[in-house]
Amino acid sequence: MKPYLKRAWAEVSLAALKNNVSVIKKLNSPETEIMAVVKADAYGHGDEHIIKCLANDCEIKYFAVSNLDEAIAVRNFCPEAEILILGYTPPEYAHEIAMYNIIQGVVSKEYAESLTKNTPDPIRCHIKIDTGMGRIGLRYDSPQECAAEIAEIMKIGKINVEGIYTHFAVADSDSADNIAYTDRQEQFIIKTDDALKEMGIRLDHVHFMNSAATCYRNSPKSTLSRAGIILYGLHPDIALDIPSALRPVMELKAVISQVKNVESGTCISYGRTFTADRKMRVATVTIGYADGYSRLLSSKGEILVHSKRCKIIGRVCMDQLMIDVSDIPEAKSGDIVTLIGRDGDEIITADELAAIYGTIGYEVVCGISKRVPRIYID
């Protein structure tokens, strides 16, 4: 069966991806290169096609991933890429890190030493500094202390320190307190680099810009901008605007399997949470929570049918859901419907769905399940 003939599918626009790279490049200063964050299967968009497009069509050199498996996948797709593992790799896999020429994020001197004990080969690394995220990385009261620890790590044999980096906690907030907090984070890593330079240590990379910082506080002092969610055309935080030229890369579609007329008093779906209060036309759509369309959208979400919004009625099932098409007499079995994306003048975004059930757009696109084929459109 051809992928586009299946019951539900995601259309991924490589043209939109390339557009977004162009927009981000214009945000960055000449001193800053894009590091494309492609973890979690390229945020649910499908890693192979996204990575190859970024490398071959957009000339992206740097990629960031979460783990070793993702790093090896990038290496197989892009032999010349520079690949940073942002998270933890068990030290017993140090040989694979070296063999695949991966850059490992190092969070402590002890971790660096444990890596070297598991391979005879040099390990490339960027050292993570915890400037206020409270997650992983070196944590010190002063940049000078942090720089001293980095200098000690650099003395370990077979550890090649090429850069330092940190992650902002609230760069997607415009409150005065959070702006000040991010200022302190940024100043800490910059002053750490200054302290290293005073010790005669010059690194290739000092990076701290995530998607939010790239949009709202772009700095030429960050050699890389780790573009994640904005690469895919979504908001770091729905409360703040992103450049209007950024375009969502993914659309989610399904089909109507049946349309029926129901009488007032008819119950729809599990739990009888919805009862028709009038005669209605009800369409069944071939997608459900096993496809990544959340059950939390039950009786809350809307779907585009013939360029009009239709309400979901009753609970979203594992493989199906029902919508009210009483005002769309032309709706029929086989019609394509849009759950995320544009139809005519109407648009439903992943960010909109996220707002309905209290999460973020990241989770929506990452949650589209593997059984939903990705169709790539250029």
Catalytically annotated residues: 39, 270
Q: What is the DSSP string of 346-370?
A: EEE-HHHHHHHTT--HHHHHHTS-T
Rounded Cα–Cα distance for residues 295 and 60 (Å)? 37
Query: From CA 83, how far away is CA 71, in angstroms rounded?
Result: 6
What DSSP designation does 57 have? I
Q: What distance, in Å, lies between the first and last C-alpha atoms of the chain? A: 22
CA gap 223, 290 in Å, rounded? 41
For residue 159, give the nearest of 207, 118, 202, 188 by alpha carbon: 118
Q: What are phi and psi of 86, to 5 degrees?
A: -75, -30
CA angle 286, 290, 296 (to 5 degrees): 90
CA 262 to chain centroid, in Å, comes to 41
User: What whole-number distance in Å separates Cα of residue 133 and Cα of residue 137?
Assistant: 9
Which residue matches tokens 């890389």? 224
Going through 111-249 in order, the beta strands assigned E by DSSP cover 123-128, 159-165, 205-207, 224-227
- CA neighbor of 189 nearest in space, from 124, 132, 106, 227: 132
For residue 103, the 8-state DSSP code is E
Q: How far is C-alpha 202 from the chain's CA centre?
A: 31
Most distant pair of Cα atoms in the chain: their distance:
80
**CA neighbours closer than 13 Å in the CB half-sphere of residue 191:** 14
